[in-house]
Structure 1
Amino acid sequence: MNGAPESLWQWAVPALIVFGAAALLASASIWALRRARRSPRARAAAEAERTAAGSALVRLDDAVAELDIEVGLSGALYDGTAPTALRRARMTAQHARDEAFAEFRQLDADTHPDEVTRVSRRIRARTDAATAAIAHARTEHADWMDANVTATAQVRAAQERWASLRDQIGDPQALLDELAARFDASEWTDAARAATDAHAGLAEAERLLRDAAERAADPTRSALAALTRAERTIRRTQTAARTLEENHRVVLDAADAVAGQVEAARGALRQAATVRSGLEPADAERLGAQMREIEAALTAEERHALRRPTATVVAVARLRDRLDLALGDARTAQQRLRGARTALPGTLAAARNAIAHAAPAVARSGADARVRLATAEQELARARGADDPVAALDAARRALRDAEDASALADYDRLTRG
């Protein structure tokens, strides 16, 4: 009777040892595999894939920017009779770029290396396909141009665009003189740089167009290279002109609004004092210390408000943000709503100014800066379209932070390239 249990144990014990060892080995293998996938080498490989995807995304973003202008010129100059492939390619490329921006934005330090690699490769495949479609469409458009528009006509059209741009820009110095008479130099540095770029661009484009016209008149020579360089210069000059106008408008708008923003901030402090009166002593003391610091900082900023309005508007928006954090959940819903309504205009202006400041530098930077600026623009649009002032204020603050991050990333790119 005892033989059966003994034989069972003689069979079971070795089996348990074997299966137990196998389970331990499997667990160890899985642990080792997971560790390897998160090792520094795996992360470095994933970062290389992410960098390659970012480079492809930058190329696509540049191609879309050029295609936007080319599509506009095609419709304006040739009555919309140019090949529709340009428009189709633009829509496809914009959609691919926006989706790639959204995916690239999610790849942060906490993302698993395997996921970084997978998403980065998908981004590269999508952006490379869109870039190739743009190249094909532009080739088709160039063939159409060769068949339907002479070099002389192309040069004449470019000269007309140059003349229109010259008239549009007018005298940039007049705008700068207006800013210099009223504001600190730090307020119009970007505008001065854009004015210099616009003036130089007009002169360079005029020289290139003269060269292209001479070549177009000679059947033995090609005007294509000079015309292409002139077209690119005109586009850069248009961008500089828009930057000048935007910076000029931002500074004047800030000058008109800064006094109201300072007063609204003081009103928010008075409202905070009312909230403070209902708090427990320890909480009231902490809030009071924050309020005193905020009021002192506001007074310091107010001294320079007339000479540095955009900087003051940004500083006041940050102080309002700090006050909201100090108040926390102590306010009623009605008080939060009233505070958001008064803080929103200044925060929107600060975000708009930060985006305008970041845009020129980001245009020459890598994918991280471009994605962050695109996020800032989306948040600003969300803030402007929101019906709830509290949600709009939150979105405007995110736009401000993203725009400043984009500027910092662009500066880092410039320094590392240098």
Structure 2
Amino acid sequence: MSVDPEGAAGWIIPALVVFGVTALLVAAGLWALRRAGRGPRARAAADAERTRAGSALVQLDDAVAELDLEVELSGALYDGAAPPSLRRARMTAQHVRDQAFEAFRDLDVAHPTEARRTAARIRARVDGALAAVTQARAVHDEWVRAHGSASAQVDAATHRLARLRTELGDPGTLVADLSSRYDAAEWRDADAAARTASAALAAAETRIAAARLSAADPTRSALPELTAAQRELRRAETASRSLDEAYRLVTDAALAVPQEFEAARTAIAQAGRTRDDLEPADAERLSAELRAVADGVAALESDAARRPTATVAELARLRGRLDLALGDARTAQQRLRGARSALPGTLAAARGALARAEGAAAGAGADARVRLDAAQREMAAARQSQDPVSALDAARRAIRHAEDAEALAAYARLAR
């Protein structure tokens, strides 16, 4: 049977047109959906959900800090006899918080639709952890009311205050020692920590005295004042550790400055020998960087004795610039030697950056806390790594994250 070509064309061509138009409409629809997913409304919705997730995450981070305080108080007063629900809630909350920090950090680069969904999941998990914390606190408070003695709690808090005063001694002594040898920028953090510790101890003494009066009155509860006293004692302990750390940072840096200068000059000399084996254009570019790094090192010498931590940090930055300039021009053995010599100073710089970030991020928003968490993770990785090159890279990432956290916290304070 023969096929009429004109008849076949009469139905094939319209069908092709219909299918072609349909395919174009489907493609246009998919394009429109993708565009809408990246449009202003989608971004605004993702930002709003991210903000809500960040607020919940800040609440959980604060709740974990409060739980640390309550668990510590419970252990000090009741010698581990209190129900373990509070400890379990703290462990769960810490786990959820750490996972949420990591997921929250990835929201900045996610597609708006995926960012909105991820932020919603973060908020749901955080809300669940907060609910568990609230329930555990209620159980613990009920147990304390049934088994705790107000007078015993006051005595324990008084003993802890006396112990802290003995351990702290005169914080002004450390500050005076630093101020007699170094620039103000070097001991500013130590001075702030010393003032905070002294103020916290004084406030704790006032709270304990009020709690003692409440404990003697059957119609009043001493628990609110005891909790406030415990919070001040915790603040004093934290400030005391910060003071010790700030003092060690400065004094350790002062001892390390000569070795860091020597290591930097050795690295410059080795880079010069590497330059001699490069092509003329590459050698010229490296020569320019070498001159800049050498000039930077020389410029630090005049104030190094008065500004040891700043000097070590700047030397670490110059070593990073030198490594970047060298790129792939070095052998594996040269990179290993360079990492070993740069690692101590870079770790010291990371310690200082992390200490500043921890002080700045207290009370800050989610963005600063997430960056601080990333800095702490990288610092831990740097300390645990057995490979000097990997440890050096992690320490440098820790510095960047810590500086970002400090900047974000400062921006948030200005915005408020």
- TM-score bucket (shorter structure): over 0.9
Indicate whether 1:278 and 2:252 are aligned: no
Could you say what secondary structure the match of 1:83 adopts? coil
Shift of 1:284: 1.6
Partner amino acid for 1:18?
Answer: V
**For residues 230-309 of structure 1, what are the structure 2 equivalents within 5 Å?**
230-309=229-308
Q: Aligned partners of 2:5 and 2:287: how far apart in 1?
A: 80
Partner amino acid for 2:48?
Answer: A
Could you say what secondary structure the match of 1:306 adopts? coil
User: Residue in 2 aligned with 1:390?
Assistant: 389
Indicate whether 1:310 and 2:326 are aligned: no
User: Residue in 2 aligned with 1:164?
Assistant: 163
Indicate whether 1:372 and 2:361 are aligned: no
Shift of 1:393: 0.7
Q: Aligned partners of 2:357 and 2:163: how far apart in 1?
A: 27
Shift of 1:83: 0.6
Alpha-carbon deviations, 1:208-251, whole Å to 9, x = none?
Answer: 21111111101122323322222222222222222111111111
Partner amino acid for 1:310?
Answer: T
User: Residue in 2 aligned with 1:131?
Assistant: 130
User: Residue in 1 aligned with 2:227?
Assistant: 228
**For residues 331-342 of structure 1, what are the structure 2 equivalents within 5 Å?**
331-342=330-341
Shift of 1:363: 1.6
Q: Aligned partners of 2:254 and 2:93: how far apart in 1?
A: 40
Identity %: 62
Partner amino acid for 1:5?
Answer: P
Q: Taking structure 2 as the reference length, what is the TM-score of the superposition? A: 0.97
Q: Aligned partners of 1:403 and 1:228: how far apart in 2?
A: 32
Shift of 1:397: 0.6
**For residues 315-334 of structure 1, what are the structure 2 equivalents within 5 Å?**
315-334=314-333
Q: Aligned partners of 2:22 and 2:277: how far apart in 1?
A: 66
Shift of 1:37: 0.8
Partner amino acid for 1:143?
Answer: E
Q: Aligned partners of 1:204 and 1:72: how far apart in 2?
A: 19
Q: Aligned partners of 2:219 and 2:71: how far apart in 1?
A: 30
Please tell me whether the aligned partners of residues 50 and 116 of structure 2 are also in contact (alpha carbons under 8 angstroms). yes
Partner amino acid for 2:35?
Answer: R
Could you say what secondary structure the match of 2:107 adopts? coil
Tell me which moved more, 312-321 or 68-77: 68-77
Indicate whether 1:73 and 2:67 are aligned: no
Partner amino acid for 2:59?
Answer: R
Shift of 1:374: 1.1
Indicate whether 1:30 and 2:49 are aligned: no
Could you say what secondary structure the match of 2:328 adopts? coil
User: Where does the alignment leave 5 or more consecutive residues of structure 1 unmatched?
Assistant: none
Indicate whether 1:55 and 2:29 are aligned: no
RMSD: 1.4
Could you say what secondary structure the match of 1:106 adopts? helix
Could you say what secondary structure the match of 2:4 adopts? helix
Partner amino acid for 1:47?
Answer: D
User: Residue in 2 aligned with 1:148?
Assistant: 147
Partner amino acid for 2:89?
Answer: A
Shift of 1:2: 7.5
Alpha-carbon deviations, 1:68-90, whole Å to 9, x = none?
Answer: 23223322332211111111111
User: Residue in 2 aligned with 1:122?
Assistant: 121
- Structure 1 ranges of 4+ moved more than 4 A: none
**For residues 348-367 of structure 1, what are the structure 2 equivalents within 5 Å?**
348-367=347-366
Shift of 1:3: 7.0
Q: Aligned partners of 2:136 and 2:393: how far apart in 1?
A: 41
Please tell me whether the aligned partners of residues 57 and 97 of structure 2 are also in contact (alpha carbons under 8 angstroms). yes
**For residues 186-225 of structure 1, what are the structure 2 equivalents within 5 Å?**
186-225=185-224
